[in-house]
Amino acid sequence: MHNYQLVLTEHLNHYGYLFGGTLLKWVDESAYICARLDHPGKSFVTVGMEKVAYKKRVELGSILSFNVEKEKTGTTSVTYRVTASVASSQQGENPEIFSTEVIFVCIDKKGEKCSIRQT
């Protein structure tokens, strides 16, 4: 699945570049959307991210592309690989700025871990 986000003034840190926490929010949201579309009717919460390492700074006005791919599905959890790149690079390339695995656990109405498979 692909998703896009425009970097606006309110997304910048005090140095004038994309705030890292905002990027993490977008990564988590993109993976969550994919989990919900892959498993209709199920509820998920984020339990972790594999690694957080920013590869390049991102400037105002950049359009970011988020590519989300399912890595694995367990009994109660699902993992997605999210790769973020600059889709609007002026050099004609799409440099990767961030990638990680996002792990979700499926929960029931009481907030308890439950099976992803339909019962």
**Mean pLDDT of all residues in 62-91:** 92
**Domain ranges in the chain?**
2-107
- Residue 88: per-residue pLDDT: 76
Sign for the pseudo-dihedral over CA of 53, 59, 60, 61 = negative
pLDDT tens digits, 3-29: 999 999 999 999 999 999 999 999 999
Architecture of domain 2-107: Roll (3.10)
What percentage of the chain reaches a pLDDT higher than 70? 95
**Contacts of residue 45, Cβ cutoff 8 Å, sequence gap at least 6:** 104, 105, 107
Q: Kindly give the pairing relationship between strand 2-6 and strand 43-49.
A: unpaired
